[in-house]
Amino acid sequence: MAEEKSHFQTTCVPKFDGDYDHWCLLMENLLRSKEYWQVIEEGYTEPGDRAKLSETEHISVDALKLKDLKAQNYLFQSIDKHILKTITQKNTVKQIWDAMKMKYRGNARVKRAQLQRLRRDFEMLEMKSGETVAAYFGRVMVTTNDMRNCGETMQDIQIVEKILRTLTNNFIPIVCSIEESKDLDTLTIDELQSSLLVHEQKLLKRVSDEQVLKVEHDTGRGRGRNSYGRGRGCGRGHGRSHTDKSTLECYRCHNMGHFAYECTSGKRVSNYAEFDENEELLSMAAVDAERKASKTVWFLDSAFSNHMTGVKD
């Protein structure tokens, strides 16, 4: 059963999508693998008088005609019917093949014009900011392969040097290293791509690590601001309002439940007096915790400065 299934398996025929060089490569490989390329190169001509042929010649002619018909069948599957309608001679597979070649590859003048355009595109190629090594190599190789298909002789050294001088600035260190340590005349395109891919991975890892450190640093700063508010001069009770003070020991009086700056033991404290019930304007005066007020001067509590008194001591 497996052998029968393999025998009747349908051959995958490449479809012509307008890219003649790519289609030609695939179709030639397919026809050669089926042993039909002979009728493409040599063509098939129907004998004028088959009656004069010997039995051996009859067998040879019939075999050649069958190959031609089978090869035509592959081309008919591959080429769209609208394109086939534009081909006037379709008696042999060679006629169809030559017509496609003339129509889409063009004559020598057309090929020269295409080659001039491709040369200009090749000279203008540069790696874009944020573009990956694989993507840039793909763009370069598409252009160079098109140039080769138009008859241009492109050596690997030309492609290697082109890529090295058109990479973005973050590849400058690896470019200098390659130029100093390797022989560019023998360096293959695959070896160059491999070296650049390794460098690219290191760059991506470094960027990732820097982003992680930045996030951790910003998170730490955010926690600092949340813990201490906007400073000690921002008003009454806006600083450490969320801190559990029951476990705190004051280093001034050694009692529990408050910070040292809040301690009233043996220092001056600020008493507040309302200016008006309907107004949010408050005043303060400095008084001694153990004595009566002396030379008291009242200040406006604007909540934008530290509390102070005019009495020096």
What's CA 185's distance to the chain center, in Å? 30
- Which residue type, as a one-letter code, is found at position 264? T
Pick the residue with more confidence: 182 or 10? 182
Q: Is the dihedral of CA 186, 192, 194, 198 positive or negative?
A: positive
**CA–CA distance, 94 with 8 (Å, rounded to integer):** 27
Query: CB–CB of 79/13 below 8 Å?
Result: no
Please provide the average confidence, as pLDDT, over all residues in the chain: 77
Per the model's pLDDT, the better-predicted residue between 180 and 244 turns out to be: 180
Contact at 8 Å (CB) between 164 and 181? Answer: no
Picking from 1, 30, 3, the residue whose alpha carbon sits closest to that of residue 15 is 30
> Buried b vs exposed e over 45-63: b needs ≥16 C-beta within 10 Å?
eeeeeeeeeeeeeeeebee
Q: How confident is the model at residue 149 (pLDDT cuts 50, 70, 90)?
A: confident
pTM of this structure: 0.46
Token pair listed for 75: 């081309």
Position with higher pLDDT, 74 vs 17: 74
Collapsed DSSP state (helix, strand, coil) of residue 286: strand
| Position 132 pLDDT exceeds 70 | yes
Percent of the chain clearing pLDDT 70 (strictly above): 67
Give the model's pLDDT for residue 118.
93
Residue 122 tokens, joined: 């090749």
Q: For 95-104, 123-132, 288-297, which range has the lowest pLDDT when averaged over its residues?
A: 288-297
pLDDT of residue 159: 95
> Residues 48-107: pLDDT tens digits?
777 777 888 778 888 888 999 999 999 999 999 888 888 888 889 999 999 998 888 776
The residues facing 283 across adjacent strands are: 273, 300
Tokens found for residue 60: 């040879």
Which tokens go with 107?
Answer: 């004559």
pLDDT at position 311: 62
- Residue 42, C-beta contacts closer than 8 angstroms, at least 6 positions apart: 94
Q: Is the pLDDT of residue 289 over 70?
A: no
Q: What is the pLDDT of residues 190-249, one digit of tens each?
A: 999 999 999 999 888 877 766 766 666 666 555 544 444 444 444 444 444 455 676 677
CA 249 to each of CA 58, 226, 245: distance values in angstroms, whole numbers, following the listed order: 115, 22, 8
Distance CA 263, CA 141 (A): 77
pLDDT band with cut points at 50, 70 and 90 for residue 33 = very high
